[in-house]
Amino acid sequence: MALLDWIAPESGLRIEGQGVRLRPPRASDFAEWRELRAASRSFLQPWEPTWPADDLSRAAFRRRLLAYARDREAGVAYPFFIFRASDDALTGGITLSNIRRGVAQMGAVGYWCGQAYTRQGLTLGAVRALSEFAFRTLGLHRLEAACIPDNQPSRALLGKAGFVEEGFARAYLKINGAWRDHVLFGQVSPYPGREGLDEGVSV
């Protein structure tokens, strides 16, 4: 079970999961983030949108942080970096995005993992922790996720995290310069009656 710790405002939101902790990205994370992304570029690029030419620059990172802050303020997305609990190493990122309230009460989960940290259960721990945050703290009813059909590790991870394969979408997202089909996954809250209770949560 993920444990949510509300701490000093200047430190922000933290989520503790199995073997990992999640917190929003900070300006001080830039060097470690750039090193991890650069070292993992060939590993990550087949599964991500095409990287802009300046993607690993400090200016681009600042723009990311500003966009993240706006999304959190609006309550439409909660981006986190994933840190290994044993040594505080940055291992990847995870985002709860496209949050819809009203009759939907749902959001989408996306994640990435640095190549050096794959197959260690860290991203799985992060997905489980974020799901608990979405259902128990934000009061969402449903989560969705999607992955390219031949991304077998991601498909297996989502299954272990409690997602159910629900369908197939043709040309769903533009990945690495091409519109790619995706397998669609969903998970419904195991906490009936909590939906929408915490729409006004402030982080």
Q: What is the pLDDT of residues 159-196, one digit of tens each?
A: 999 999 999 999 999 999 999 999 999 999 999 776 66
- Looking only at the bridges linking them, the beta strands covering 20-23 and 13-17 are antiparallel
pLDDT given for residue 193 in this prediction: 72
Query: Taking Cα atoms as reference points, which of 103, 98, 95 lies closest to residue 127?
Result: 95
pLDDT given for residue 192 in this prediction: 79
- Please check whether residue 86 is in contact with residue 59, taking contact to mean a CB–CB distance below 8 angstroms: no
- Top-confidence residue, 12 or 56: 56
- Please check whether residue 9 is in contact with residue 73, taking contact to mean a CB–CB distance below 8 angstroms: no
Tokens of 1: 């079970």
Averaged pLDDT for residues 73-84? 96
Is 197 inside any structural domain?
no
Is 71 inside any structural domain?
yes
Is 194 inside any structural domain?
no
* Interatomic CA distance for residues 198 and 135, integer angstroms: 10
Query: Taking Cα atoms as reference points, which of 185, 3, 5 lies closest to residue 111?
Result: 185
Backbone phi and psi for residue 187, each to the nearest 5 degrees, phi listed first: -145, 130
Domain that holds residue 172: 3-188
Tens of pLDDT, residues 17-59? 999 999 999 999 999 999 999 999 999 999 999 999 999 999 9
Question: Residue 31 belongs to a domain with what CATH number?
Answer: 3.40.630.30
Is 169 inside any structural domain?
yes
* Interatomic CA distance for residues 20 and 121, integer angstroms: 9
Residues in the chain: 203
- Please check whether residue 98 is in contact with residue 77, taking contact to mean a CB–CB distance below 8 angstroms: yes
Tokens of 5: 């710790």
Q: Which residue has the tokens 């390219």?
A: 148
Tens of pLDDT, residues 80-134? 999 999 999 999 999 999 999 999 999 999 999 999 999 999 999 999 999 999 9
Alpha helices in 25-163 (DSSP H): 30-39, 41-44, 58-74, 122-132, 152-160
Averaged pLDDT for residues 5-20? 67
Is 52 inside any structural domain?
yes
Is 18 inside any structural domain?
yes
Is 24 inside any structural domain?
yes
Q: Is 127 left (phi over 0), alpha (psi -120 to 50) or beta?
A: alpha
The total of structural domains in the chain comes to: 1
**Does residue 5 have a pLDDT over 60?**
no
